[in-house]
Chain A
Amino acid sequence: MTRRIGGAGTGPSPLSRSARTTPPPAPKGALKNTAATASTNLREARYESRFEETDAARPKPQAEGAKAGAKAGARAGAKAGARAGAAAPKEAPKLPADVRKTLDQQLALHPKNSAACKTLNALAASPGFQGMKEADQQKLLKYVGGTNLDLSGPARSALDKKLGSDAFKKADAGKQTAQLQKFLTDQPATPDVVAPQKDAFKDKRLPYKLHGPSNVKDIAFQGGKADAVKYEVEVDGKKIPVYLPKKADKTSTHSIDEVAKGLAALPKSSRALVKEVLVEGKPNPDDAYWAKEYNDPNFSSYMTAGADGVINVYPSKPKQSQDYLDGTMIHETGHTLSIKQWGDSDSDKRWDGWKAAIKSDGIVPSKYAKAAPGEDFGETLQLYQQVKGTPKEAEVRAMMPERFKIIDSLLAEKPKP
């Protein structure tokens, strides 16, 4: 059997059509487990709306370059602030022209968000901000001024709290500057990990075809040899074998369609490195060892990506969402991609470019990214893929320009064999 599933550029897929029409009745048993249902709903709720709903009312971007443009931008930014009900400072803050322009652009992003404008105006008016280096002023404004709810929203709330604290208000200019520098370095409100964005790949993943299934014997799953069902997922001319257990618990094990969608969401360079996928029917038997080793029984393996190009996907309860599967596959195969490009160890000289880009950009995609340059690559690649081609790409790219540039060229290269 060969099934063809539509993706970007092929018109609405049967899946997306069904999603827009009346949903099918819940499967038997789904309503029985109300605790599991509630838990899944909570998990999904985290992925809703990762950006402020401001697009429709957003003013046009400001003209670049000339002073006149900057002045016009200032007026537009101030107007945006005023529309949002935020008090603009009585005196224009003493800021370099380019910083002023960035401030106005960031204010203009929040025509309906008076709190955001108030925080940005208060930041700009503070002697501490005015004492920062221009490059750091730019970074801070781009960081706290965006509409994305993953990085900029929480950062702005944390900054607002800081600006309103006695420790900041009563400090002299120099100490305020030091506090703002520390805020920029620590990024205390950064999320633990890059959160999957709801339906981030729904319209971006490539079309795929499913070939099969066929019955195969003695497949070496991580949990032991077992008979399996084999499909081949064809994306962009490449066929990737996917093995699933014959008897799988559908509430915890990803389906062939979910795995195929995950493969179709990978950057071409990452997908080129995948040789096969094993959807495990049982938990990773090594989990017991890790639980003992790290003295914590509450972790379970979700995915393994090997240098040999094999991906193992383990059951999870509740089953992780499609968005989570997509994001994790991008992150984990990203390790293989970066290692192939720059070497096994991030002390390898070939990693210097990425490390310099981290330093230059300053903003991290997540706390997890701070663990190592390799983790930073995985997290940044996941964020890159989520925002690429969306209206939000520009503001996220502005926070991580050097790393986005490297990923641009890396993904534009012909995949390495």
Chain B
Amino acid sequence: MSEPKHPGTIQFVDGATQQVTKTVDATEVPLSIRFAKNEAGELVPVVKIVAFQEGDRRTLREYGPEGQFLRSTVQLRNAPR
């Protein structure tokens, strides 16, 4: 599936404060993060990533150009070795 044109930048947002922590050039981000599928299964550009973290869990929520939700990933802190 070919990727559509990306608007150019991706905003990173701290979910707790809703503040934009940085804005990066989309080309600096791996392709698998730069695009995600919408409800219809079409690839669309990711333009905003909101991170929520509490204790050992972090959620990353990715949104498209129209503000549409695309993907939510839960990450866990690795068990100590």
Tell whether A328 pairs with B70 under 8 Å between CB atoms, given A192-B56, A306-B36, A307-B38: no
**A307 contacts B70, C-beta separation under 8 Å:** yes
- Minimum Cβ distance to chain A for residue B39 (Å): 5
A157-173 interface with B by 8 A CB criterion: none
A-B contact count (CB 8 A): 111
Q: Does A218 contact B (CB under 8 A)?
A: no
- A318–B81 CA distance with the chains assembled, in angstroms: 10
Q: Is residue A270 within 8 Å, beta carbon to beta carbon, of the partner chain?
A: no
Q: How far is the CA of A307 from the CA of B68 in the complex (A)?
A: 9
Interface of B is mostly: strand
Instruction: Report the interface size class on chain B.
Output: 35 or more
A residues apposed to B, CB below 8 Å: 39, 43, 192-193, 222, 284-287, 289-290, 293-294, 298-310, 316-318, 320, 328, 331-332, 335-336, 339, 344-345, 366-368, 370-372, 374-375
| Chain A interface helix/strand/loop/mixed | mixed
Q: Are A328 and B74 touching (Cβ within 8 A)?
A: yes
Chain B proximity of A182: nearest CB distance (Å): 20
Contact B37 A368 (CB under 8 A): no
User: Does A192 lie within 8 Å of B71, measured CB to CB?
Assistant: no
- Asked whether, in the complex, the Cβ of B38 is within 8 Å of the Cβ of A302, the reply is no
Pick from A193, A286, A336: contact of B57, CB under 8 Å = A193
- By beta carbon, the residue of chain A nearest B78 is A298
**Closest chain A CB from B18 CB (angstroms):** 8
A54 to B61, CA, bound (A): 41
A287 to B75, CA, bound (A): 9
Closest to B12 in A: A293
Which residues of B (3-62) have their CB < 8 Å from a CB of A? 12, 15-16, 29-30, 32-33, 36-41, 50-61
